Structures are given as C-alpha cells and as structure tokens.
Structure 1
Amino acid sequence: MPTQEAPAIAKPHYQEVEHEKLHDAAERGQAATDEHGQSLVQLDPKAEARLRWKLDLYLLPSVALLYLFCFIDRANIGNARLAGFEKDLGLIGYDYNTVLSIFYVSYIILEIPSNILCKWMGPGWFIPASSLGFGLCSIFTALVHNKAQACAVRFFLGAFETGLLPGIAYYLSRWYRRSELAFRLAMYLVMAPLAGAFGGLLASAILKLPHFGGFTTWRMIFAIEGVVTVGLSIISFFTITDRPSTARWLSQDERDLCIARIKSERVGTTTLLDKMDKKKMLRGIKNPMTISTAIIFLFVNITVQGLAFFTPTVVQTIYPHKSVISQQLYTVPPYIVGAFFTVVFPLLSWRIDRRQIIIAASAPLGMAGYIMFLASTNPRVRYGATFLITSSVFALGPMVNSQVSANVVTDSARSSAIGFTVMLGNIGGLISTWSFLPFDAPNFHIGNGLNLATTTMVLIVSSIMLAWMIRDNRKRDSCNVEEQLSGLSPEDIEDLDWKHPGFRWRP
C-alpha cells in the first residue's frame, strides 16, 4: 500500500517500483489518500500535463459537437417560429408556450433515472444512443402538421435529451481533477451560446434554400439539423471511450496515472468507479452543496433557456422592421460574447481552484442587463443589455456542475448529485417557457422582471453558501478524524462520502 514516503514520480519513464506504487493506487482497491484527505502518491506535474492534453484531444471534440446539436435541436424551434412554424401549425394564443413546456415534462421526470441509466450502461454507450434519439426527433419535427403532433415529438425530444448534459458532466468527472473539470465542462457547455449563434446563422442559410428533399421553409431547419445530429451520434459510438481503464489510446502507465490522480482527491475512496449503491446515491442528493447549487441552477436555467427560446422573438421586437433573415443574424453577436465568457470564467476557476466565488461574482452582470431592459425602450440600450446577460449566465452552467462534482466523493454520489442538480435546473427551463408571454410584448416587463429576480437570487444563495462552507470547514478542522473513524470498515468509511471527517468543502 502506498505511503507518504513514496518517491515522487519525476520522469516520463518511471522506475519499476514507482510503476508498482502507481498501479496499486490505480487498480488494487487501495485508497490514494490518508484519513485526512492528503494524497499518498506524488505525481509528476509534467506527466500530468501531457496526459491532460491527450485527454482534451480525445474526449472533448466528440462531446462538444454532440452538445452543440443537442442545444440546436432543442432551441431551433425559436428560429422556426420566425419562419412560419406557428402559422402553418395553426398555433394561437399560448399554444407555442405549451409546445415548449411539454418538452420539460419528460426532461424533468426522467432526469435522475437517465443519469442512473448512464452509470449502469456506461457513458460510452449512453451518450451516443441518447444523441441518436434526439437527432431522429428533430427530423420527425419536420413532419408535424398540428399542435398535438408537435407536442408528442417535443415530449420524446425531452426524453432523449434529458441525460446528455448531466451524462457528459458525469463522464468527464471520471477523467479530470476537481480543479480541471470546470474548464473542460466549459469546452462543451460553451456550445449552448454557440448554438444560439450558429443556430441563427444556420437557420438563415437554410431558409435561403428553395427546398431540402420534400421540405420547405421552417421544416428544412429541423430536417437538416436532425440529419447532422444523427450522423454525429453514429460516429460517436466509435469515438467516446467509456472509462480510463478501457482507453486503448492510453498506455498502461497513462491509464494508471489517470485513475490514481482522480482517486488522490477522493478521501476514503478505494475504487474510482464503484458499483451502484443506494446509500451513496442518496448521500449525493442530500449533500447541502448539491441542494443549494441545484437551486442556483434552477434560477440560472430560467434565464438560459429563456434566451434559447425567446431571443429571436425579443430581437424581433427590438428591430421589427428588419427582414426575418436580418433578425436571425442579430441574435448571433450576443451569443458570441456569451461563449467567450463561458470559457473565461471556468479558465479562471481552473487556475485558482475556486468556483463558488466566481458564481457569485458573475451574477451582477445579468442583473445589470435586465435592469436596462426594464428601464429603457431604446433599441440600442435593449440590444446592448443582451450582451451583458449572455456574458453572465452561460458561464454558470459549467461552474455549477463542476461545483457539485467537486463536493462529493464517490462515483455513485457524483452521478446522483449531478442528475439532481440538472433536474432542478430543468424545472427552471419549464418556468422559462412561460416567462415571455404574447400579451406582455413588446417590452416584456414580466419576463425581464422575473429574470432580474432570478439573477439576484443567484447572487444571494451563492454568497450565503460560500460563507457556510468556510464556517463548516473550520468546524471540521477541530474534530478528531481518527477517533470518528475508529471501528469503521473501509466500506463504511467510503459510504460516508461528504460526511467523512477528513472531507473539506471545495469553494
């Protein structure tokens, strides 16, 4: 079993004894930390940097492209609305909001079950299969002719999409350290604002086509984007590797290093991927940081999903005399700015290994944007406000999910914690579908007032929890770890998860 006197792994070509110690920490059911959470193995930073770069090249492109088209397939209904979706289907009054809402019924109900299924199947199969399902649903949307058919397709779209965001977050947590995860989540969640930008550009280009097969106007948007998604999902069956131990593109030394460095941050953990365990899964859901962060994500999603569904509509009210294609193009720049900050904030998080303070600090930007919407009817002011909002809220997706992952220990707890967080976030998405109502146009005081309230709550809840984490860590510092663990088996210790006396909250 490794000890604190283990020699540092300082060269790319390890000595035989160093190989053995690293392999012990990685594969032989031994803990890689002491009872205080201190790592028992010393890892070469240069070897880690090389491994991290290799992981980035192999893992991120596939999941990023899938999430890009996941968000496009969900939000392209906003672009289709401008191109005649409502008129052709005979939607009146609140019918459009109803069609949006039905998506979230399955999306919310199936969130935790789908993340459990992801762990059971393995992300290498679950993520591509889910992507294939929602790609087909997008194609089927091009075939609908009335409200009932549109609602049915949107229901199944939600069922297939529900597991992708938490599934990818859970998947990447198998490969990356706590401090590294937020930036890697940003590399795929940045596809949400890019989907808004690219979706507008793509919709504009598609609408210039005379037809696509037998499809015309808005039907082409769903058909073409769905076909691309199906193609990407089929490729991903071959490109997404389930776990470090099965990665053929890593050497045995790299697989051992990948596993050992993750275990070295998880106090009391003897295996990287434990079996599904009800007690651990409940630990993940009942974790105070999981609950508070999930509430934050609920507030965040009211804004993020509202932007996805209603930005084209809001832009149309700002520039009512522009052509449909011009209105589509006006939605692009705010999303580009949002994408920039979606990467910058998590990059800062990686460098300082902090997330909670960044979550709190980003909220005032969104608050300022909605104050501008409420205070002015000037088109330039209102359009400028969209840039402040997107620069704030899109970055919170990777920050929130990485914060949940950083504050649980076992793989089972992480799976349920991320699933619960995204489930509550989806409730925010459901609320967002009713945030911008027809009678409230063109200034949308209700929708903008609601979003000002939610961004304010993000600031309040995250600040309170930051103070609580610091206070609780001080309490844990004063406890006797050895005394509290006395008489417990290794399995009992692992089941403690965040209740382990050596565990510390990661702000």
Structure 2
Amino acid sequence: MADTKTSSIDVDDPKVPTNTTGESKNDTHFAAERGHVATDQHGHSLVHIDPKVEARLRWKIDLYVVPTVALLYLFCFIDRANVGNAKIAFLERDLGMAGYDYNALLSVFYISYIVFEIPSNIMCKWVGPGWFIPGISLGFGICSLATAFVQTKAQASGVRFLLGIFEAGMMPGIAYYLSRWYRRAELTFRLSLYIVMAPLAGAFGGLLASGILSLDHVGSVRGWRMIFLVEGIITIGLSVIAFFTLTDRPATARWLTAEEQDMAIARVKAERVTTTEVLDAMNVKKLLKGMANPVTFSTALIFLLNNITVQGLAFFLPTIVKTIYPDKSTVTQQLYTVPPYIVGAFFTLLLPLISTLADRRQVFMILSAPTVMIGYIMFLAVDKPQVRYGATFLITSTVYALGPITNSQVSANVISDTSRTSAIALNVMLGNIGGLVSTWSFLPWDAPNYHIGNGLNLATSGTVLVISTLALLWMKQDNRKRESRSVEEELAGLSQQQVQDLDYKNPAFRWHP
C-alpha cells in the first residue's frame, strides 16, 4: 500500500496512453492529462466510463483510502474527548480544579483549534495529505500521552493548547483529501465513514475508559492518567503505520494501474467546469473564492450551530449521565454513555448513505433539526431520569450526520481544488467556534438540570432549521437566474486561467443542493 509521496502542488502527471475497459478507450487518459479539460464550456462531462469498471475502481479506492483515515480520526476524537471520561474519574480533584476551571480547560483547546484551522488545511494542500495527516496524528498522540503526566492546571492547559494545534487540521484535512478521490455524489457517504468515528469514539472511548479504569495501574500511572497514557500510545502507533500506508493522490498510488490512475483523475475532473487539472497550484484568488462562496458560509454557520450540540455531548454526556444516575458507580456511568453513541453512529452512516444515493444534502440539514429540538424539549420539560436518558438517543440520531453532510456540501459547491481547501477549512473552523461555545454551555451552578445548556441547544437546532431552509430556497432561485445567462458571451475574451479563477461565479456553474 506504500506510494511515492510528493507535494500536492505537483499536479496530475500525464501517463502513456492506454486503453480502458468499456466505452472509454482514450477519453479518460486525455481528460487526466494536465492542460486538458474534462467538461465543455457549459459544464457537460466529456468523459465516458463504463459504470461497472468505475464501480470496481471506486471499491478499490474505498478499501485502500478510507480505513486508514477512519482509524486516525477515531483516535483523534478519543484523544480530544477523553477529558470528559477523566473528569468523572477525579481529574478535577487531582489537579486542584474548581468552579469554571474545567470549562476553561476545554476552551484552551478550542482557541488553538480554531486559529489553526484554515492555515492547517492550506498546509495540508502544500505538503500533501499523505505526509501531513500522519504527521499531525503523531503530534496529537504525543500530546495525549503527555496529559497523563501533568500535575497542575497550567500544565494541563498547555498540553490541551498543543493538542488543538495538531488536531485542527484533521477533520478538514481528511475531507479535503477524500475530495481528491471521489465524485460529488459519492463524497458524502465516504465522509461519513470517517466522521462516524466521532460517535463511535464516544461509545468506544467510554468502554475503553471503563476498561482502563478497572485496572489498578499501568506501570507507575494510576487512575484517570491511565486513560491518556494508553490511548496516546495507541494513537502514536497508528500514526507511524499511516506514514507508510496513506496514499497522497491517484497519480502516486502504486496500487492503481496506469489506466486506473487516469480514470480516477478524469472522473473527478469531469465534475469541475472547464478545469484543466484536479490539483491546481496554490492561488490566493481561489482561496478567497472558497471562503466567500455564499453556500460555504451558510453551511458553515449551520455547522457552527450544530457543533454546539455535538461537542457539548462529547465533553458533558458523562456528566449528564452522572446527574441522571448519581448512585451508579463511575464505571457503570461510563458504560451508560455508550448506547446513545451507538445510535448516533448508525444514523451517521444511514443518513449520508441516503444523501449519497439521492445526491442531495441540503434537505438532510433541514430534516436533522426537529429530532434535536424534541430531545432538548424533553430535557427542559421532564425531570424523570429515564425520559432524559431517552432524549439523548433522539439528539445523537441526527447531529453527527451533519459532519459529513456539511463538509460534502461545501465541497460540492466550489470548483477548484484550492477553493475546496479553504471552503472545507472555513466550514470546520466555524464549526469549532460552536465547539468553543459548547464548553461554556453546561455550567457547574446550572446542574443538575442544566436549563441554560439545554435551552441553548434547543435554540441552535431551531436556527439550523431556519437557515438551512432559506439556503435551499436561495440556491434554487439563483440557479433559475443562471439559466437565463449567456455562457458564451460572459466568457468571451477570457483566458483559460481567468475562466478557472471565476470558480463559482462561472455562469455555467450550478449550485448543488
């Protein structure tokens, strides 16, 4: 599975012309070459590939690309959220924390996480995901390991700040990386295959934490420190393996034949209007176009609001469960956090799968909101522990699915690789501002009912419903306006580079709701 890794700025190399199976004999090689487009001026694909041949290629890519990034993201989320498991295992007591100290510890992580989001994804494109993703994984694994040995609040805060720097590039980096391999309609489900690791991390993290805490010690390390020690070592091991297994891009994949490399490049390029290469050189104009894109911004705002709930669950679900079942042992409380995450994982795969089959994303953002709203209404209106515990299942059934759906949506509504880099980074950056808000949504003095936190999440889910609906109506209206524009007249006299720099402003481009 090893491959030659070079900077992603080295765009797709032309191959010796070869025949492909089915209808496509020369067009995939032609479209794969740098300098050749794979669409006409109106955005219609010039590439024809036998569906059976393409299905075999897609399955091969799935097997070689997705498992590595999914495992890395699993432990990325575990290393971030295990502080919630450590909290109910007496982390606060041992570090002398009181009042808002725990909330502040969570916030420190998000400060660096947010600041480094966009620079990190730009660096991912410049260095190449094949090196960058394993590199940052190694970094946050070391940070998790170091947390096992902190003795003060200041030391814990410093390590969490570093953890945020390394983890900042993980979610947008993997989303950007997968966009190199998959068509628009295929991407949502493939994103779900790694983002599902977030709820699985909650479930597996709870199981792993309860198992680790059942041990008396690991070496000289005891108590909650064992959680960080063991999980950090596992992350480091996976990162080292990823340096050898993560393939940077189709053109350098040794496990693809020359024909398959051409096909992998051509099929992605065929969805990008008048684009002459899949991996273009860094361009400031295109970076700005990716962030100024109206669909990128509205989707990122939805992800911000949604992430207040997602990250709040990661950090506070153990605490919420403890207030529901205060008489249970710490290990039992950890285990009670597992079932809601299992339900979340199931729907994180199911909803993006349906989205992929329908090639629609916006409607799923709309449909995600009502179940979350009902869940938080139950928290606010009912005191019975069983009802509140049931509400967590309603909430987790849709909130995690918006991770793959929103990242896929911003990816689908830009043209160039560079714009995609900044669009995905902005989406995740705003999402993590929501994570920062979540660290202050469940305050100590508001326990055990947490009216402020539950009320805030009810409000954010309601706002998601409104924004996602308005965005869908706007996309449909703007597409109707674009139908009346003359592509030939507007593009007349422009060079190929000027046309490519238009990105979503190209009159031939259509929004993909």
Q: Shared fold (TM-score greater than 0.5)? A: yes
Structure 2 counterpart of 1:389, one-letter code = I
Is 1:178 equivalent to 2:184 in the alignment?
yes
Separation in structure 1 between the aligned mates of residue 25 and residue 240 of structure 2, nearest angstrom: 37
**SS class of match (1:72):** helix
Structure 2 partner of 1:28: 34
Structure-1 separation of matches of 2:21 and 2:204: 50
Q: Does 1:495 align with 2:501?
A: yes
State the match for 2:194 in structure 1: 188
Matched, 1:110 2:116: yes
Give 1:214 deviation, angstroms.
1.2
Q: Among the aligned pairs, what percent are the same residue?
A: 67
* 1:239-318 equivalences in 2 (<5 Å): 239-318=245-324
8 Å contact 1:259–1:272 — kept in the other structure?
yes
- Where do 5+ consecutive residues of structure 2 fail to align? 1-17
Whether contact under 8 Å (1:19, 1:253) holds in the other structure is no
CA distance in 2, matches of 1:304, 1:17: 46
2:148 paired residue number: 142
SS at match of 2:45: coil
Q: Structure 2 matches for 1:206-225, cutoff 5 A?
A: 206-225=212-231
Q: How far apart are residue 18 of structure 1 and its match?
A: 4.6
Matches within 5 A, 1:427-438: 427-438=433-444
Residue 403 of structure 2 corresponds to residue 397 of structure 1:
yes
The CA distance in 2 between the partners of 1:73 and 1:415, in whole Å, is: 25
In 2, distance between residues paired with 1:471 and 1:421?
23
Distance 2:22 2:512 in 1: 35
Q: What SS does structure 1 have at the residue aligned with 2:61?
A: helix
Deviation at 1:21? 2.3
Shift of 1:29: 1.4
Q: Distance in 1 between matches of 2:100 and 2:272?
A: 49
Asked if 1:425 corresponds to 2:412, the answer is no
TM-score by length of 1: 0.97
- The count of residues paired between Structure 1 and Structure 2 equals 496
User: Deviations 1:14-57 (Å, cap 9, x if unpaired)?
Assistant: 37995432111011311101111110111111111001100110
Query: TM (normalized to structure 2)?
Result: 0.96
1:212-245 alpha-carbon deviations (Å, 9 max, x no partner): 1110000000000000000000000011100100
Separation (CA, whole Å) in 2 of partners of 1:219 and 1:422: 30
Matches within 5 A, 1:367-378: 367-378=373-384
Task: State the AA in 2 paired with 1:70.
Answer: C
Residue-by-residue CA offset, 1:89-138 (whole Å, 9 max, x unaligned): 00000000000000011101111000010000000000000000000000
State the alpha-carbon separation in 1 of the partners of residues 300 and 23 from structure 2.
44
User: Which aligned segments of 4 or more residues in structure 1 are displaced greater than 4 angstroms?
Assistant: 15-18
Equivalent residue, structure 1, for 2:86? 80
1:449 and 2:477 aligned: no
**In structure 2, do the counterparts of structure 1 residues 118 and 316 end up closer, same or farther at CA, with 3 Å as the change threshold?**
same
For 2:401, give the aligned amino acid: A
In 1, are the aligned partners of 2:43 and 2:271 still within 8 Å (CA)? yes
Structure 1 pair 399–18 and aligned structure 2 pair: CA distance change class (3 A)? closer
Given that 2:290 and 2:414 are in contact with CA atoms closer than 8 Å, whether structure 1 keeps it comes out as: yes
C-alpha RMSD over aligned residues: 1.2
Cα shift readout 1:239-295 (whole Å, capped 9, x = no counterpart): 110010000000011111101000110001110000000000100000000110110
Q: Secondary structure, in 3 states, of the residue corresponding to 2:217?
A: coil
